[in-house]
Amino acid sequence: MTSADLGDPCTSTMQMCKPQKTHKMAPVSRCSGKSFRLNQEQRPLKIVRASYQYLYDNANAEYLDCVNSVSHVGHCHPVVVKAASATMECNITTQGWDIDYGDIRYPVKLRQTLPDYLDTFLFCNSGSEAVDLSLQLCQLYTRGTDVVVIDNAFHGSIDSVHHLSPKVFKANNISKADWVHIVAMPDLYRGQDPGAVDKYISDAREVVQNIRHTGKKIACFIAEPMLTVPGIIIPPSTWVQEIYKMVHEAGGLCIADEVQAGLGRIGSHFWSFQALDVNPDILIIGKTIGNGYPMASVVTSREIAAVLGDRIKEYKCSPLMDAVGCAVLEVLEKEHLMAAAASVGSFLQDQLKTLQHQHEYIGDVRGKGLMVALEIVWSKESKKPAQEVAEQIVHRMKDEYVILANEGCNRNILMLMPPMCFTKDNAISLVQRLEKVLSELPKHRHSQDDTAHLSPMPQASQSTVCEGRLGIIQPQEEEDDDGEDDSSSSNKDTMDLEYTQHSYQDLD
Q: State the SS3 of 273-318.
A: HHHCCCCCCEEEECHHHHCCCCCEEEEECHHHHHHHHHHHHHHCCC
Q: What is the pLDDT of residue 160?
A: 80
The answer on pLDDT for 192 being more than 80 is no
pLDDT at 96: 62
Q: What is the pLDDT of residue 156?
A: 86
Write the DSSP symbol of residue 146: E
pLDDT at position 442 = 82
Residue extents of the structural domains in the chain: 12-75+337-503, 113-312
Name the band, by pLDDT with cuts 50, 70 and 90, for residue 94.
low
Task: Return the CA Rg of the chain.
Answer: 23
Q: 474's torsion region: left (phi>0), alpha (psi -120 to 50) or beta?
A: beta
Percent share of the chain, pLDDT over 90: 66
Question: Given this model, what pLDDT does residue 207 score?
Answer: 96
Q: What is the predicted pLDDT for the residue at 409?
A: 87
Quote the pTM value: 0.80
CA-wise closest residue to 127 among 230, 259, 226, 220: 259
Surface-to-core class of residue 41, CB atoms within 10 Å of its CB (0-12 exposed, 13-18 middle, 19+ buried): middle
pLDDT of residue 1: 46
* CATH number for the segment(s) 113-312: 3.40.640.10
**Confidence band, pLDDT 50/70/90 cuts, at residue 27:** very low
Rounded-to-integer distance, Cα 130 and Cα 283, Å: 9
pLDDT tens digits, 281-311: 999 999 999 999 999 999 999 999 999 999 9
Give the pLDDT confidence score for residue 70 in this predicted structure: 94
Ranges 15-19, 131-135, 166-170, 304-308: which has the least confidence: 15-19
Give CA–CA dist 299/137, Å, rounded: 11
Q: Collapsing DSSP states into helix, strand and coil, what is residue 63?
A: strand
Q: How far apart are CA 160 and CA 221, in angstroms?
A: 15
Residues above pLDDT 70, as percent of the chain: 77
C-alpha closest to that of 149 among 182, 110, 175:
182
In terms of CATH, what superfamily is 12-75+337-503? Aspartate Aminotransferase, domain 1 (3.90.1150.10)
Mean pLDDT of 230-257: 96
Query: Which tens digit of pLDDT belongs to each residue from 408-467?
Result: 889 999 999 999 999 999 999 999 999 999 999 887 654 333 334 454 433 333 332 333
Q: Are 305 and 50 in contact (CB under 8 A)?
A: no
pLDDT higher at 174 or 369: 369
Q: Where residue 197 falls among pLDDT bands split at 50, 70, 90?
A: very high
pLDDT of residue 327: 97
How much is the mean pLDDT over the chain? Answer: 82
Quote the pLDDT of residue 175.
85
Report the alpha-carbon distance of residue 173 to residue 167 in Å, rounded: 10
Residues 6+ apart with CB under 8 A from 161: 128, 131, 132, 135, 155
Report which DSSP code applies to 477: B
